[in-house]
């Protein structure tokens, strides 16, 4: 058998996240469609990708022969079965990156027979537009293989290396975080409608304002409170609104929501 190619990537279990990963790879032009392989049972659901030239198959062994980088995106309870099924097709040089919540690298290495370099990653759904924050973890492993994984997720947004024991926390803050942020935006839109905007205009204002606020912090590596100080005139309407939100438990409810998600995941 020829060595697996690192210039080919397979999405094993191309459901919601697997498809978002494929969209990101195509959107950011990281690979041509012909270098991407996607697997799932119901391959007819991947027809839009097949039409673009992506290889679509039910057969995870075909994917292993096609690609050197295997991104495993099946549900956590399916991981053991799928990795054990793939094991005979894994070769030294394969890189297996699991995005499944809560499945330790130790288990992945054992089930895969120790031939592939094993890592974990926790992207979020913004990976589809190349704007994910992806936490990645290693447990030893080959430096250049890890570098390859880090670069891949950097090109799909931003990647940050974390210890494996923080992977559950990464799931909450980074992956569930998308939902928290969207709920915040929805509330902002509802408030906007109440003070006079139609829904479409309120959504545009809220979406772009949130994007701008996040970009200010990211680009300048700034603390939110320093930026808040710049928009809070003494006795003004911003500080009055912010303080009322805090009286109503805004920060507290967000923090409690995050810790509740974390307790649930643990």
Ligand X SMILES: NC(=O)c1ccc[n+]([C@@H]2O[C@H](COP(=O)([O-])OP(=O)(O)OC[C@H]3O[C@@H](n4cnc5c(N)ncnc54)[C@H](OP(=O)(O)O)[C@@H]3O)[C@@H](O)[C@H]2O)c1
Residues that bind ligand X (CB under 6 A): 12-18, 39-42, 60, 73-76, 78, 82, 99-101, 122-125, 175
Select 36 or 74, whichever has its Cβ closest to ligand X: 74
Closer of 62 and 210 to ligand X (Cβ): 62
Q: What is the rounded CA–CA span in Å between residue 228 and residue 242?
A: 10
Q: What does each C-alpha distance from 253 to 47, 176, 247 come to in angstroms?
A: 42, 15, 11
Q: How far is the CB of 74 from ligand X (least distance, A)?
A: 4
89 vs 202, beta carbon nearer ligand X: 89
CB 70 within 8 A of CB 86: yes
Neighbours of 212 (CB within 10 A): 9
- What is the rounded CA–CA span in Å between residue 122 and residue 170? 7
CB of residue 76 to ligand X, shortest distance in Å: 5
Nearer of residues 29 and 41 to ligand X, judged by Cβ? 41
Q: How far is the CB of 13 from ligand X (least distance, A)?
A: 3
CA-CA distance, 193 to 206, in Å (whole number)?
Answer: 11
Min dist. Cβ of residue 8 to ligand X (A): 17
Classified as helix, coil or strand, 241 is helix
* DSSP state at residue 183: H
Question: Which residue lies nearer to ligand X by CB, 26 or 176?
Answer: 176
Q: Yes or no: say if 10 and 38 are a contact pair by the CB < 8 Å rule.
A: yes
Comparison of 76 and 236: residue with beta carbon closer to ligand X: 76
Minimum CB–partner distance for residue 84 and ligand X (Å): 10
83-101 exposure pattern, b = at least 16 Cβ within 10 A, e = fewer: beebbebbeeebbbbbbbb
Distance CA 258, CA 175 (A): 11
Q: Of all residues in this chain, which one has the CB nearest to ligand X in the complex?
A: 15
> What are the backbone dihedrals phi and psi of residue 119, each rounded to the nearest 5 degrees, phi first?
-140, 165
* CB of residue 227 to ligand X, shortest distance in Å: 28
Minimum gap (Å) between residue 79 Cβ and ligand X: 7
Closer CB to ligand X, residue 35 or residue 125?
A: 125
- Residue 141 CA to residue 116 CA, distance in Å, equals 9
Nearest to 39 by CA among 4, 65, 1, 77: 65
């Amino acid at each position: 058998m020829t060595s697996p190619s690192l210039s080919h990537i397979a999405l094993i279990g191309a459901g919601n996240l697997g498809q978002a990963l494929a969209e990101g790879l195509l959107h950011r032009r990281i690979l041509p469609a012909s270098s991407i392989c996607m697997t799932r049972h119901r391959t007819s659901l991947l027809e839009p990708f097949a039409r673009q030239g992506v290889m679509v198959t039910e057969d995870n062994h075909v994917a292993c022969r096609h690609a050197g980088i295997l991104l495993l995106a099946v549900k956590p309870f399916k991981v053991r079965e799928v990795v054990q099924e793939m094991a005979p097709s894994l070769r030294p040089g394969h890189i297996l990156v699991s995005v499944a919540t809560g499945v330790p690298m130790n288990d992945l290495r054992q089930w895969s027979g120790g031939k592939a370099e094993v890592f974990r990653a926790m992207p979020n759904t913004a990976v589809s537009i190349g704007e994910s924050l992806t936490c990645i973890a290693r447990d030893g492993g080959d430096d250049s293989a890890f570098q390859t994984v880090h670069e891949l997720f950097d090109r799909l947004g931003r990647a940050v290396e974390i210890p494996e024991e923080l992977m559950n926390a990464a799931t909450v803050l980074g992956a569930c975080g998308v939902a928290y942020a969207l709920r915040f935006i929805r509330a902002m839109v509802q408030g906007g409608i109440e003070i006079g905007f139609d829904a479409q205009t309120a959504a545009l204002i809220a979406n772009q304002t949130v994007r701008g606020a996040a970009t200010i912090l990211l680009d300048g590596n700034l603390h939110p409170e320093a930026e808040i100080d710049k928009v809070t005139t003494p006795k003004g309407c911003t500080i009055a609104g912010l303080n009322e939100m805090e009286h109503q438990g805004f920060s507290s409810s967000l923090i409690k929501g995050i810790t509740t998600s974390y307790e649930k995941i643990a």
